[in-house]
A and B are shown apart, each in its own frame.
Chain A
Amino acid sequence: MSGPRPTPLLSVSGLTKRLPGADRPVTVLDNINLRIDAGETVALTGESGSGKSTLLHVIAGLEPADDGHIRLDGQDLAALDDTGRAALRRDRIGIVFQQFNLIPSLTVAQNVVFQARLAGRNKASWTAALIDRLGLAEHAAKYPEDLSGGQQQRVAIGRALAPRPALLLADEPTGNLDEATGDAVLDLMLELVSETGAALLMVTHSQRLAGRLSRILHLSHGRIAG
C-alpha cells in the first residue's frame, strides 16, 4: 500500500465516554477509534443526540474521557492537568461551539483576536483580513448580543481561525445560516484551513456540505459506522 505513515495530528483510540443518565450512566461514546492527519477535512454526521458534540468536547480536552486515549501531535491528553490541557487548546485547537459562546464583555473584533492573543500568535494583518472576509468589518465595534445568530456564528468561526490552529473543531458552524451564506462560509473555512495547513473536524447535518469534505464519519448510538 503506502509507505510509513507520519505521526497523525489527532489519533483517538478506544474512546469511551459515559454521562449521568436518569438512573444509571449512559454510554454516550462507545469505543471510538479515529485518526485525522494534517490538512485533512473530515465531516461528522449523525442524528441528534448521537454524541457528536460530546466527541468534539472530549477531543478538545474540555471533558475527560472515561476510557481510551486521545493524542494530539503525539501528546496524550490524559497525561495533562487542567492547565496543560488549557494551554494545548489555546495553542493548537480552534473550536466553533454549537452555541457560539462568545465573550459578552468584548467587542466583535476583540472576540475574534482573543484566543490568538492569548496564544501570543496574533497577526494584525491576518485577523483584519479574516474579519473582512467573514463580512464582519462593519460590526467590528459591536457587542455580540447586538448581532444576529448567523453573524454571531461567523464571529465564532473567526475566533477559532484567528490563532491558526492545527486542528479546527467546528460544531455545526453553518447551522444558523441560510444555504447560500452557509456555502460561502464553508468555502471560506475550507480556504483558510488549506492556507494554514490545518485539519478540520466538522459536525454537520447536511449531507451536501459533508460531501464537500475529504472524508465523512457517521456517528450512530455512540459508535462510528462506516
Chain B
Amino acid sequence: MRRTALLALLSHWRHHPFQLLTLVLGLALATGLWSGVQAINAEARASYDRAASALGSDRPVLQAATGTIPESVYIAMRRAGWKVTPVVDGWIEAGEGSVRLLGIDALTAPPDFAPAGSLEGGAAADPLGFLMPPGRMIAAPDTARRLTAKELPPVIVSDAAAPGIVLADIGIAQQLLRLEGQVSRLVLAEESTATLGNPEDFLEGLTLNAPQGSAGLQRLTDSFHLNLTAFGFLSFAVGLLIVHGAIGLAFEQRRPMFRTLRALGLPARTLTGLVAAELASLAVAAGLLGIVLGYVVAAALIPDVAATLRGLYGVPVEGELSLRPAWWGAGMGIALLGTLVAGMGTIWKIARLPVLAPARPRAWARADARLAWAQGAGAALLALVALGARAFGEGLVGGFALLAALLLSAALALPLALAALFGLTARLARGARAEWFWADTRQQLPSLSLALMALLLALATNIGVSTMVYSFRLTFDGWLDQRLVSDLYVTAADAAEAERLRAWLALRPETLLPIWRVDGEILGRPAEVYGVADNPVYPANWPMLEALPDAWDRVRRGEGALVNEQLARREGLNPGDRLTLPGGAVMEIAGIYSDYGNPSGQVAIGLPRLVALYPGVERLRFGILTDTPRELARALTEELGIAEGQISDQASIKAFSREVFERTFAVTDALNVLTLAVAGFAILTSLLTLGAMRLPQLAPVWALGLPRRQLARLELLRTLALAGFTFLLALPLGLALAWVLLTVINVEAFGWRLPMYLFPAEWLRLALFALIAAALAGLWPAFRLTRLAPATLLRIFSNER
C-alpha cells in the first residue's frame, strides 16, 4: 500500500514538471548562494591563518621599539641560549601594488615555521639553491604571477605558501629590501627559552610580545565577512521563500489526492512519512546541485573578494578556491535544514488534514484572515524588535539584528498592506470588470505572497545597497579630490636619496611636503601617527568634520592633534578632548577629519612635533606640489635616478583607490543581481503554477462575456500591478535599509558615517526592471490563456465545483 501511495504521490510531479523544477532550483539557488558565500569566507580565513603562520605571529616575537634590530643583537642572544630565529619583513613592488617579502633563516627556523610544505617543496628540495645567490623565492600561484620585475631571483610556485607573501632566504631578502645587517624581528622558536632573562639586556626597547595568531587580520576583516554572510543569508531566505511557496502549492494541488488516500485507508502517519521522505529526497538532489552552484559562485567572486581584502585591508588572500570536504557536508546540511524549515508547515497540515472537507477556493484566503492577525502581530513585534535593536543594540551584530528585524517585519506586513490596498482599489473601482479584477487580485494574494515577499526583499536590498554604494562613491570621490593634496608622491629608497631629492627640489619652484608616519598603539589598538607639514594646502583642503576654531594653528604650534573619524567614533572622542599618543605624549584633539577606506585609527600632528616625539621616524615618503606632474616625474627619474616604481601621481593613486572600491562593490553588485534573479524566478514559477489553478476562477468570467484576449490582458496587468505596488512598498523599505547601512552598519564596520544621497534615476531603473521582470513572468501564462481551447474552460464546468 505504501508503494502504491508513494507512486500516486509522485505522479503529481510528472504532471507538474515545472513545479518540480521550481522546488529543486529554488532550493539549489538558496543552498548555492549560501554555501558560495561560506566558501569565500572559509577561503579567506584559511588565508589569514596561513599568513599568521608565515609571519610568525603564531609564536612569541621579540620586537624593537625603534623598528629594526641589528644582526649583532641576534647573534648575542643565540650565544646566550635564546632559541630565536630572525625574520626580515618588507614590501617589494609587484604587478598591481606590492607584495610582502619575508626573509627567513632556514637553519634556525623551526620545522613548522612558515606554512607547512612551502619549505619542503622549495628550500628542502634544493637547499643550496635557496641559500646561495641569486637564491630562490617561494610564493603561492596567484602571488607568483604578480612577481614580474626582472631583477628578482627565480620563483618556486607552491600551493602551500601563504597568499600575498613571498618567502626567501634572509640574506637575499635583506639585499632586496636594503636592510643589510638588520632584521625586522626575532621569532621565538622554543618558548621555554623566554625565561632566560630580560630581552632589554640585549637591546633597549626590545620587548617580548605574545603570539597574535590570525586574530588581528580576522578582526580587521570581520565586518567584510559579516557583510558577505548577511548577503548569503538574505539570498538563502529568498530561496527558502520560493521553496516554501512551491511546497505549499504542491500541497494545495494534491489536497484532493491526500484526502482520497486517507479515505481509502492510508493512516495519517504513513502519509506524513511518505511526504517527508519525498521532500527529503528532493532536498538531497537540490543540495548536490546547490553545492555545485555554490562552488561556481564562489569561484567567480573570489578574485574580486581577494582584491578587496588586499586593497582595502591590506590582507593577503589567495584568489583561488580550494575544495574543502567540510564545506560539502555543510552545504548538504543547509539544504536539508532549509527544506525542513520550508516544509514544516505543510507536513503539519498533512498530519492534521481532515478526511472530509469541501473544496473552498477562498479557504486559503479565509484561513489567511486568521493568519493575517498572526502575521500582523508578527510584523508589529519585529518592528518593535527593530526599534529595540536601534535603541539598545550594540556593535555590528546589533546593526544586523536591526536590519533583519526590519526586513522580516516588512515582508510579513506586505500581504496585509497589499490586501488593504486592493480592498481599497476594489471599493474605488468603477465597473464590474475593475471590481472583479481587484477582488480577484486580492484573492490571489495568499498564493502569490511568498513570491512577492521575495521580490520585496530583493528590491529593497537593491535600493538600500545601491543607495549606500552610490552615496559612498559620491562622498569618496569628493573626499579623494580633497584629501590627496599633493600632485606627485615619491618614496625615497634611503636617507641619502631623500636628502638628494630635498636638495634638488630646493632649487626648483615645486614644494616638497614630507609624509612621515609612525605606527603604534592608541588606546590599545593599532594606529598611525602622521606629521603634517606647515603648508596652506592642508588647511585649505583637509576634509574636516568637526574642529576647534583655530585647529590648524594649534597643529602648527605642536599643541593640537587631528584624529580621523573612525578613531573618534570608536573611542567617543571630541575636539577639545585629550589623547595619549604612542610613547606617552598627551595632546589636545583640535579636529576630526574624514578618512574613508582606512581600516585603522589615524592621528595627524605638526611635522616638527612628530620628529621631536619619534626621532627614529622613517623619513622617506614625500608629496610634491607641482603643476606639471608628468614632466617632474620624468626629471626625477632621469636626473636623480629615482626608480619609476617609487613615484606615483595623484591620478593613478585615485584610480587605484577607486578600483579597490569598485571591486568591493562588484561583489555586492553580483550578489544583488543574483538575489533579484532569484526573486524574478520566484514570481515566474508562482504565476506558472497558478496559471493552471486559476482556470476555475477565470472560466465563469469568460462564460459571462469577457473574451479570452481581454482576460489575458487583465492577467498581465495584474502581474504588473502586483510588481508595481510591491516596488512602491519596497522603496521606503529600501531607503530605511540604506539609512541603517550608512548610519549604523558602516559606522560599526568601518568607523565612518556617510551622508545619504538619493538617486531617483536609479529607482526608476529598478522599477522598470521589476516591471519588465514581472511582465516577462506574466507574459507566458497570459499568452497560454489566449490560446486555451474553449473546451478546456468548459471541462472545468463539468469537473470543478
Contacts and interface: CB of A to CB of B under 8 A. Distances in A.
Given A99-B801, A114-B436, A63 B790 contact: yes
A159 B699 CA distance: 15
B705 A62 contact: no
B8 to A, nearest CB: 24
Contacts of B705: 86-87, 89-91, 115, 118-119
A104 B361 contact: yes
B404 interface: no
Interface in A160-174: none
Interface in B438-476: 439-440, 442-443
A139 interface: no
B391 interface: no
Which of B704, B706, B708 is packed against the most chain A CB atoms within 10 Å? B704
Contacts of B703: 60, 62, 89, 95, 97, 101
A62 B319 CA distance: 65
A104 B801 CA distance: 11
A118 B703 CA distance: 12
A100 B700 CA distance: 9
A145 interface: yes
Nearest to A19: B791
A64 to B, nearest CB: 7
Contacts of A98: 797-798
A64 B790 CA distance: 9
A124 B790 CA distance: 32
A113 interface: yes
A83 B801 CA distance: 26
B790 A103 contact: no
Interface in A92-111: 95, 97-106, 110
A82 interface: yes
Given A101-B797, A104-B443, A63 B791 contact: yes
B697 interface: yes
Contact of A106 (B431, B439, B696, B791): B439
A118 B362 contact: no
Interface in A135-175: 143, 145, 159
A117 interface: yes
A57 interface: yes
A194 to B, nearest CB: 24
A118 B704 contact: yes
B433 to A, nearest CB: 6
Contact of A145 (B362, B440, B702, B793): B362
Given A62-B790, A63-B790, A101-B699, A145 B706 contact: no
Give the interface SS of chain B, mostly helix, strand, loop or mixed.
Answer: helix
- Which bracket fits the contact residues of B? 35 or more
A122 B442 CA distance: 24
A114 B704 contact: yes
Contacts of A95: 703-704
Nearest to A160: B704
Given A101-B699, A105-B440, A106-B439, A145 B798 contact: no
Interface residues of A, number: 36
Interface string A40-64: 0000000000000100010010111
B435 interface: yes
Given A101-B700, A104-B362, A104-B697, A118 B439 contact: no
A82 B707 contact: yes
Contact of B706 (A86, A104, A113): A86
Contacts of B360: 145
B794 A90 contact: no
Given A86-B707, A89-B705, A105-B442, A114 B697 contact: no
A168 to B, nearest CB: 14
Given A98-B797, A99-B798, A145-B361, A105 B439 contact: yes
B784 to A, nearest CB: 15
Interface in B664-711: 696-697, 699-710
Interface string B17-34: 000000000000000000
Contact of A103 (B436, B708, B710, B797): B436
B706 to A, nearest CB: 6
The winner among A91, A100, A115 for most chain B CB atoms within 10 A is: A115
Nearest to B434: A117
A117 B431 contact: yes
Most chain-A Cβ atoms within 10 A of its Cβ — which of B705, B709, B793, B797? Answer: B705
A86 B436 contact: no
Nearest to B793: A62
Interface string B115-147: 000000000000000000000000000000000
A114 B702 CA distance: 12
B609 to A, nearest CB: 78
Given A105-B362, A113-B432, A114-B436, A62 B794 contact: yes
B358 A145 contact: yes
B705 to A, nearest CB: 3
Contacts of A99: 797-798, 800-801
A102 B709 CA distance: 21
B363 interface: yes
**Most chain A CB inside 10 Å of its own CB: which residue of B358, B432, B699, B702:** B432
B791 A114 contact: no
Contacts of A143: 362
Nearest to A83: B707
Given A86-B707, A89-B703, A106-B439, A114 B432 contact: yes
Interface string A61-90: 011100000000000000000110011011
Contacts of B358: 145
Contact of B435 (A83, A87, A104, A110): A110
Contacts of B700: 97, 101-103
Contacts of A82: 707-709
Interface in A185-217: none
Given A89-B705, A98-B797, A117-B431, A145 B699 contact: no
The 6 closest A-B pairs by CB, nearest first: A90-B705, A117-B432, A101-B700, A105-B443, A104-B361, A86-B707
Given A83-B709, A159-B704, 14 more contacts: A64-B790, A82-B707, A89-B703, A90-B704, A91-B705, A95-B703, A105-B436, A105-B440, A105-B697, A106-B435, A110-B435, A115-B432, A118-B432, A118-B705
17 contacts: A62-B793, A63-B791, A82-B709, A83-B707, A83-B709, A87-B705, A103-B697, A105-B436, A105-B439, A105-B697, A106-B439, A110-B436, A110-B439, A115-B705, A116-B432, A118-B432, A118-B705
Interface of A: 53, 57, 60, 62-64, 82-83, 86-87, 89-91, 95, 97-106, 110, 113-119, 122, 143, 145, 159
